[in-house]
Amino acid sequence: DGDGGFEERAGEPSTPELARRLDALGVSLSEGYRAEINLGLDAWCADAAGALDAGYVLVIDYGHEADAYYAESRRTGTLRCYAGHTLNAEPYREPGAQDISVHVELTSLRNAAEGAGLAALGSASQAGFLRALGFDAYRADIAGRRGLPASVRTANLRALDTLVAPDGMGAFRVLAFGKGVEGALDGFAAGAPAQASDEPAHSAPLATAEHMPLGGVPEPRMPTWEELVRGGAG
């Protein structure tokens, strides 16, 4: 623009692959709808599959299946920018000085993985995945551990609860793919999840200085996990 910044202009699609992706999903976008389409999924999945003789690919991220990703209620897209611990939706502001992120469209990811020869082995919320692996038993271990200062116990329990919050990080999606492997993975195994009364495989580790801050010092405004999962926050 006249001030030396970036100016957004409407134009023809940069590649017919965009329309082909939407057609393959049976998606038709209304006038003015904004969405992010990752055309690098096929190459990424092919690279991942090519790196494995036998093994697993575990994907954990905030995302949605195609019907929810392209829902009319999400017509402004999922693109978000982060700079100085603050959230904005201005990708042309301070280019190179902020992180730009979008949610994952999981249906196309799964299609690309299977097209690359990876078998889809499971899908779950992060909360369900962790609980199936014994999360509640580890939490109970810390809650009942003797000798812990109250502040340490509280901070660790709060951090654990954040991982499984149903409207926050617990709603992250976990997808597993495999190549040359058989059998169900524990985090996706059918049946009741592990209970808090179950004995954990080992003593639950405590957070250290290398982990995310657990409180005590005010931080600049950060988006909540609820905002990230919804693709909201403005």
Residue 131 amino acid letter: R
Confidence check: pLDDT of 222 > 70 = no
Confidence check: pLDDT of 216 > 70 = no
Do strands 173-179 and 55-61 pair parallel, antiparallel, or not at all (unpaired)? Answer: antiparallel
Q: List, as one string, the DSSP characters of 37-98.
A: --TTHHHHHHHHHHT-SSEEEEEEESEE-HHHHT-GGGTT-S-EEEETTEEES-TTSSTTSS
Confidence check: pLDDT of 37 > 60 = yes
What integer pLDDT is reported at residue 184 of this predicted model? 81
Burial class (CB in 10 A: 0-12, 13-18, 19+), 232: middle
Rounded Cα distance between 194 and 179, Å, is 27
Closest listed residue to residue 115, CA positions, set 61, 35, 48, 20: 48
* E strands in 126-180: 173-179
What integer pLDDT is reported at residue 194 of this predicted model? 58
Where is average pLDDT lowest: 81-90, 152-161, 200-209?
200-209
pTM recorded for the entire structure = 0.82
Read off the pLDDT of residues 119-140 as tens digits, 9 standing for 90 and up. 999 999 999 999 999 999 999 9
Read off the pLDDT of residues 39-67 as tens digits, 9 standing for 90 and up. 999 999 999 999 999 999 999 999 999 99
What integer pLDDT is reported at residue 221 of this predicted model? 47
pLDDT interval class at 110 (50, 70, 90): very high
Rounded Cα distance between 97 and 131, Å, is 37
Closest listed residue to residue 167, CA positions, set 96, 225, 105, 103: 225
Q: Pick 224 or 119 by higher pLDDT.
A: 119
Is residue 98 within 8 A of residue 83, CB to CB? The reply is yes
- Tell me the average pLDDT of the chain: 87
pLDDT interval class at 2 (50, 70, 90): low
Q: Pick 33 or 87 by higher pLDDT.
A: 33
Structural domains of the chain, ranges and CATH numbers in brackets:
23-230 (3.40.50.12710)
What 3-state DSSP class applies to 129? helix
Confidence check: pLDDT of 100 > 90 = yes
Q: Treating both helix axes as pointing N-terminal to C-terminal, what angle do 150-164 and 135-143 enclose, rounded to 10 degrees? A: 160
pLDDT interval class at 193 (50, 70, 90): low
Q: Pick 16 or 199 by higher pLDDT.
A: 16
Rounded Cα distance between 52 and 54, Å, is 5
Where is average pLDDT lowest: 133-137, 162-166, 175-179, 186-190?
186-190
